[in-house]
Structure 1
Amino acid sequence: MTRPSEARLALIAGIGCYAIWGFIPLVFQSMGAIGADAWEIMAHRMVWSLLLAAALVAALRQWDQVVAALTNRRTLAWLGVSTLLIAVNWTTYVMAVNGGRTLDASLGYYLNPLLNMAAGAWLFRERLSRTGLVAIGLAAVGVALQAAALGHLPWVSLLLGFSFCAYGIIRKKISVDAGPGLFVECLILALPGLAWVLWLTARGAGHFGESAPATLWLLAAGPATVIPMALFAWAARRMPYSSMGFLQFLAPSIVFVIGALQGEPLGALRLVSFGFIWAGAVVFAVGALTRKRGEAPEAAVAPEPGLTDDPAEDPARS
């Protein structure tokens, strides 16, 4: 059982990680304001995340697991695939929020838990409850209405949702703990990231070192990536699964408000489409709470997306 004081801290950590993910578009937009494009932001995110991921592994004393992952060809190959997927996810997200498509990014992460549920039924033969089917159905209607409102498929939202869902599936299948897996992924990403930073510097096109604000913002890419993941991993192992299910909708809700306040187009049909997505999210969360009440109370043990190996709980996002 989780002690009351620890449960409160877990709740604070859970809210903290999703709040950071919710406000992270403002961080990337600030980097864009100093002149950095999505590729430069991603390069610095790759480089500085490695240092914090290394600190996390050191704190957890898991270097032996890192060595085991690096020396196992099959595990390393699958981590290579998961690295590619999370790189696609991160890059798409930065491009979206810095390109006036923050609402699309919000939709992608509303869809994510519903996609995870569908993938669990399809790939892992997990039984879909009636509420699960209703939630997925509502989300499907929302996506269709979104396509009608935009005049094309919401490809940014779908790419974010499906890339992270696929990432979670692979991490679920690999026998590597959260921290070591994240370190290996960051290690793979850091190599091209560092090469890009050095190339920009050689051309005089980089912004690192150009000014104190520019340097600090680019350095912030690492903590902005790893800190919420660490908070998530700590909270998810100490909170009921259903509670994390409710909290995971906090981030896209904040992102949605940011996009709306920044004046992104939100016509009546698009707002209705979000209404269906929100309804699906509510059905999903209520279903999770109902299932949890039917189980014996116990501390939840959850892995990660980036820091959890269960795709139903999604950290390495954004």
Structure 2
Amino acid sequence: MDDSDFRSHLRRGLAIPAHPLALTAERRLDERRQRALTRYYIAAGVGGLAVGVHTTQFAIREPRFGLFEPVLALAAEEMQRSTRPLVRIGGLCGPTSQALNEAALLRKHGYHAGLLSLGALRHATDDELIAHARSVAEAIPVVGFYLQPSVGGRILPYSFWRRFAEIPNVVAIKIAPFNRYQTLDVIRAVIDAGRDDIALYTGNDDAIVTDFVTPFRIGNTERRIVGGLLGHWSVWTRRAVELLEDCRNANATPERMRLGVEVTDSNAAFFDAANSFRGCIAGLHEVLRRQGLLEGIWCLDENEGLSPGQSAEIDRVTRAYAHLNDDAFVAEHRDEWLRG
């Protein structure tokens, strides 16, 4: 897929899961299960994958683990085998020097764009953030990322996003502040900048369906959120792909709004909303463990795990919303994905 192709695919709107990390009980990379996860997502019909992001665990970059490049490479190898074109997005973190080094690794392994986290620049001024983004965008196409403060993000005003949208090599923005006012700030900024080539993606796990079925009209211009780049979509992925297709340019019918509530309730269990998202990664691992794709829910940080009551919440939403899970699909193909 060349540069123009991946941009057009992004603008059409894709289901892009954030890729988890498969570990052994010794907290080492489980290559077989890591590949199996990628194969699962491809078989489920996703349009791309985001690797090296929050769901993959930012700690993969720490020298004591040294997993950033190996994880990028494994996913790239599996995506290369796909008969369908897949958009490859890799996470970019840290100060400018680190982000540029990571951008070089993404390019080395054939990634099309970088999801730019600003979490390490929490005290930078808006001028410094824009300079940082411009530097990185010279190295690789950039997907902006508005991350909610409760998991390491910061409040970024309309004025920041208006300037950010003027950076030529910005190709998309993942909007994930979990806040309607701040979501509107991003959309209005992109419209006011006249950037109809920037694709809008939801990361608002509490409003996935609402984001898809809402026509955002500012003045005489209307934009839609066309796809999702979501940790939530790393589980029950086959159904997530179907959800996006059903909601693409669709109206907000009562049935879709009811489905949106069910998706949000499921996300609350997976992401541990009741405990300020402390168990979000472990919750996703638990769903994949129950399906047999992961052996355990181990994280690189030994202190990360399920919160009290979270397993019961996952039980509850699994029973309540059986139509949202893809357990049968996974059971049918799991052994094939785990082979070789």
- TM-score norm. by structure 1 comes to 0.25
User: TM-score when scaled to structure 2?
Assistant: 0.23
Larger relative contact order, structure 1 or 2 (CA cutoff 8 Å, min sep 6): 1
The structure with the greater share of residues assigned to helix is 1
